[in-house]
Amino acid sequence: MKYGKRAISLALAAVLLAGSLAGTPAEAADVLYLPYYTPTATASQNEGTGWVRVRTGEFPQKYNLINQWGEPLLEADCEDVGEFSEGLLFVRQEGRIGFLDQTGALVISLPEEVAAHGDFHEGAAYIRLESGHSYFIDRTGAILFECPQGWQLYPPNHFFSNGLIPMRDTESGFYGYLDQRGDWVIPPQFDLAGSFEYGYAWVQRGGHFGVIDQAGKRTIPCSYTFIRLHPPSADGGIPLVELQVEKGHPLRVGLARASGELLVEPQERWTIVGTFAEGRCPIAYQDSGRRGIIDDTGKELSVPDARFAEQCQDGLFLVWDGTEWSYLDRDGTTALTLPPAVSAQRPSSFFQGMAVVSDQDGYACAIDRSGSVLFSLGDAPLIATSAQMMEGNIWVSPQVDSEEFGKEVCLVLDPRLKDHSSPWAEGELAQAQEAGLVTESNDGYFTFRITRRRFAELMANLVEKVTGQTVAPAPEGAFTDTDDLWVRKAAALGIVNGFGDGRFSPNGYINREQVAAALCRAVRYIEGETGETILPASADLTGYADADQVSPWAADSMAALTAAGLLQGTSGATLSPKDTTTVEQAILLALRAWQVFAS
């Protein structure tokens, strides 16, 4: 085992927890050990793209992104990596600076003199050069408007929201709000200003904070020492505003709706210690430090005596009473209490019906909402509280009580997904398996997003299965970032290309238009070898509402494949060319092509 004498068998880890919780673990998860990486942004922060930003543990610290498979997007860690926003990600590394898409392609190139940048929001991103010159670009990289000398966006992570962005006018020294044409919609008049959230924004004037609406009307006067906007309990609702009227102890805290309705007069009984989620928020009572819960009207819920309460997630609060960890529902009623064997360490919150708990030695399992064990998290002692659950993955840190565990994080793949496929794909996946179309790296985790390397493997294998020929690969060194055999085979067939700079980006997710281009080339090659004609000589994308979003180099391929029935739209009228593709979707594309030639 990886951890030698310190290791405990998976079977024993299962017994330790199964003796305390209902059920027994179905199986042990696949665990990948990723040296030096520490997650700094979750998948949800990356818009559910399946990427997680990580920081290296070495000095100087650098950054990368890791996909669902535990593989890095960038071939080398770099000094600056942002988060995906509207499908684009800022990156700065030697020889490349600009915005990447999910495939790893540099789609917007920026000058090396970029000193600050913002993420894309509502199709616009802020760029400031070392010279002080600043401007906004659209998703093509074209300049929307240039900021006059002296205008300043601070901090640069402010963004367009509801069509407006806060900007400082140096001439007056105040902040106002611009639209995407660069015109003042709300004139400069504030000392500080934040981006709009759900139709409202915080502003500061005279050292005090208030709230304005999109017309610039102050719905909450600038008379508070501090305010914080919280999300509404439902989409389209009015956000909540936490109010503080003075510093010091005890604090006086109130709650209002951003529209101006006061829900709780500033009071000294409790303070807010989290963020509203699902219409609930944890609070701390100032006289005792005990924790409680309020709803989105400011009403206090009756809860058991708690010394700790985490914000509501997946409909449950994680709480601790000094002895036991438990989970409360949104009404404050106990839904699950953890036994002593797994109360020695703080567990994780729930996410999509699953949480991570560990025994006193750190051996961890995933549990469901009833407390039943779903699976073991491997053979290393882990810190359950560090667990971040995402799309089929759990990121968790090992206990750092020895050098063995000091420079790694664990990426756990949910074993329930290893052989799982979507119900609509099961029958055709079985046919693809029988035909030999499911390749080694694609034989599992069928609902994960497929990478460029894995798709190249499928396509080269498809050609070999249909033609009965073994493809001679392109020479090693054909790409600067991979020498994978199947990628070189696909390159030799002309199925895949790099990005023009020698890179292939093997671990980037492949999008639908790239899938179409590669599949079309594979089918054209097979046509030439077999003498059969499958694809029409010409076709168009008439009838698809998003046809204008297809890149010119992919339009003919998508048109030919859709006309032949090999590729379907995401709906009757949409192609979604920039969307990623799952393993099972890619396998079924290979199967359909194989069936056409085999018929």
Q: Residues 55-94: pLDDT tens digits?
A: 887 778 889 999 999 999 998 888 889 889 999 999 998 8
Instruction: Answer whether residue 262 is part of any domain.
Output: no
4-7: long-range contacts, CB 8 A cutoff, minimum separation 24:
6/381, 6/402, 6/404, 7/379, 7/380
Domain count, the chain: 1
The answer to whether the CB of 70 falls within 8 A of the CB of 441 is: no
CB 395 within 8 A of CB 370: no
Place of tokens 């030639």: 597
Widest CA span in the chain: 84
pLDDT score of 541: 95
Q: Per-residue b/e over 163-182, b at no fewer than 16 CB within 10 Å?
A: ebbbbbbeeeebbbbbebeb
For 120, 292, 387, the CA distances from 369, given in Å and listed in that order, are 37, 21, 16
- How many beta carbons lie within 10 A of that of residue 582, not counting itself? 18
Give residue 311's Cα distance to chain centre.
20
Give Cα 199 distance to the centre of its chain.
24
Domain-embedded: residue 591: yes
- Is 51 part of any domain? no
Answer whether residue 246 shows pLDDT above 80.
Answer: no
Going along 173-239, which residue ranges are E strands? 174-178, 184-190, 192-193, 200-205, 208-213, 218-224, 226-230
483 part of a folded domain: yes
Angstrom distance (rounded) from CA 458 to CA 590? 7
112 Cβ neighbours under 8 A, 6+ residues apart: 97
Residues 6+ apart with CB under 8 A from 276: 230, 231, 233, 240, 296, 311
Domain containing 519 equals 423-598
Looking at this protein, which amino acid is placed at residue 307?
A: R
Residue 225 covered by a domain:
no
| The pLDDT of residue 401 | 53
**Rounded to an integer, what distance in angstroms lies between the CA atom of residue 298 and that of residue 269?**
12
Indicate the pairing of strand 382-389 with strand 30-35. Answer: unpaired
What percent of the residues of the chain are helix, what percent strand, and what percent coil, each to the nearest 5?
20, 35, 50
| Residue 542 domain flag | yes
d(CA 356, CA 367): 6
Structure tokens given for 58: 């070495």
Of the chain, the percentage scoring pLDDT greater than 70 comes to 92
Q: What is the mean pLDDT of residues 501-525?
A: 96
The single-letter DSSP state of residue 260 is: S
Q: How many Cβ atoms are within 10 Å of 80's Cβ, its own excluded? A: 13
Give 423's contacts (C-beta < 8 A, 6+ positions apart): none
- 156 close to 165: Cβ distance less than 8 angstroms: no
At 149, list the tokens. Answer: 């000398």
Is 528 or 35 the better-scoring residue by pLDDT? Answer: 528
pLDDT for 474: 97
- The pLDDT of residue 68 is 94
The pLDDT score that the predictor gives to residue 7 is 35
Q: Let me know if residue 161 belongs to a domain.
A: no
**pLDDT score at 403:** 53
Q: Which residue has the higher pLDDT, 378 or 524?
A: 524
pTM of the full structure: 0.90
Q: Computed from CA positions of residues 547, 553, 559, 564, in that sequence, does the dihedral angle turn out positive or negative?
A: negative
430 Cβ neighbours under 8 A, 6+ residues apart: none
Confidence of residue 513 (pLDDT cuts 50, 70, 90): very high
Question: For residue 86, with 0-12 CB atoms within 10 Å meaning exposed, 13-18 middle and 19 or more buried, which class applies?
Answer: middle
Provide the phi-psi class of 390: left if phi over 0, else alpha when psi is between -120 and 50, else beta.
Answer: beta
Q: Considering the domain boundaries, does residue 30 fall inside one? A: no
pLDDT per residue as tens digits for the range 108-166 = 999 999 999 999 999 999 999 999 899 999 999 999 999 988 788 877 778 999 999 99
pLDDT at 179 over 50: yes
Cβ-based neighbour number of residue 306 at 10 Å? 21
pLDDT at 50 over 90: no
Identify the residue whose tokens are 């919609």.
Answer: 185
Q: What is the pLDDT of residues 390-409, one digit of tens each?
A: 889 999 988 765 455 456 78
d(Cα 344, Cα 399) in Å, to the nearest integer? 14
Instruction: Say whether pLDDT at 552 is over 50.
Output: yes
At 347, is the pLDDT very low, low, confident or very high (cuts 50, 70, 90)? very high
Min mean pLDDT across 185-189, 245-249, 265-269, 494-498 is at: 245-249
Q: What pLDDT is attached to residue 154?
A: 74
- pLDDT the model gives residue 9: 34
State which of 42-56, 232-246, 249-263 shows the largest mean pLDDT: 249-263
Whole-angstrom distance, CA of residue 243 vs CA of residue 593: 61
Q: How confident is the model at residue 294 (pLDDT cuts 50, 70, 90)?
A: very high
- pLDDT-based confidence at residue 168 (cuts at 50, 70, 90): very high
